[in-house]
Every structure is written in C-alpha cells, then in structure tokens.
Amino acid sequence: MQRLLDGLIKFRQKDYEEHKALFSKLKRVQEPHTLFIACSDSRVMPEMITKSLPGELFVVRNIANIVPPYKDTHQDYVATTSAIEYAVKSLKVENIVVCGHSNCGGCASIYLPDEILSKLPDTKKWLELAHNVKRRVMGHLKDESDIYQREWLTEQINILEQIKHLLTYPYIKEKYLNKELNIYGFYYMIETGEVFIFNYETGEFELSN
C-alpha cells in the first residue's frame, strides 16, 4: 500500500503537472476514440502498450477479455455489456479493440478440471462464455499434449470469438457494416512487448511493432 501512496504523490507532482492543461480540458467531458476490451491481468496495461493519454481509451477489463453475446433481454453480465453499450451509443467511439495476451490465466482456466473450477464458482460461470473457444481449439489442435500450442491457439482464437460476439450486437453490426466503426483484434506478447494485429484479409495475426 505504501508503494501506491507514494505513486499518488509522484503522479500529482510529475505526471499531472506535465499534462495539467489536458486534465483541465477533461474535467467535464470525455471523448475517447477507442473502446479497449482487455484482460484484467495485472501485466496488461492498455495505456502503456498504446502510449495513450487520458481521455483516449474507454477501457473494459475482465477475465480473458470476454464479450458476452448480445441478448435483447436483461442478462447476467451487464458490467461488460453496459460498458460496451455506453461506449458505442453514448460516447460514439470510432474503434473497438479486443486485446488478448500471452500466458493468459483466464484462457488456461477453461481447461481446468471441474473439481478445481467448482472452488471458483463465479469464475466458472464467467468462463462458460468461452465454451466455444475451447471447442474450436480442440478441433484445430493436432497434439493435445502440446500445452504451448494449445495456449497460443486458445488466446488467439478467443480474440476472434469475442469479435464474433461483438457483431451480435445490432447497434455495433450496423455501424460496422456502414463503416462507422472499426473492430480490431490485438494479441500482446508480454515477454517481448510485441503486438500482433489480426488481418481480416489473410486470416492471420501480423506483427505491428
């Protein structure tokens, strides 16, 4: 906690002063250009990765950067869905990024035995949304004993599955088809700092930096 308190002081003395005019501009309004859906993993820092300033990203974070499919009735996962709705309808963001990452504990957890997941009931319920990811990975996996290949496939297929879920939202699909909204898939490698972006034409994640 002392580190956090020291950080507050350093922020106020250095970062705030450096961007004082920006913070003054942001005091009554935000106009983010991008909805950034990321994992809650402590090693993933959207603003650091993209070098974004305050006011640029509207960030949603949850375990395994999951997007619940759209329902036209009230559903259980409103923390994420309400944030998506607000970003697209009220803030009118121009872009949506779904950002997965290497060594994702959430993605790995979908393979845990039931006796372990049952001890984490809320996590287990949440990861039900990734059931189709697991099915797709097992269909692609040539060697089920290759844990590293399974990890890599799961993390990247999960990104694509969440983009698919985004397009079940009528208001997102309409804007996307009218080219009023861009949707991107990012894959961040923690150990190298590399970010791969999904290319819809080639069907592959390609190095961006």
Bind-site residues for Zn(2+):
39, 41, 101, 104
- Bridge partners (DSSP) of residue 137 are none
Side-chain half-sphere CA neighbours of 162 within 13 A: 33
N-terminal to C-terminal alpha carbon distance within the chain: 35
Binding site residues, as ranges? 39, 41, 101, 104
Q: What distance in Å separates the CA atoms of residue 37 and residue 107, rounded to the nearest whole number?
A: 15
Q: Which residues neighbour 102 within 8 Å (Cβ) at sequence distance 6 or greater?
A: 151, 152, 155, 187, 188, 189, 190, 191
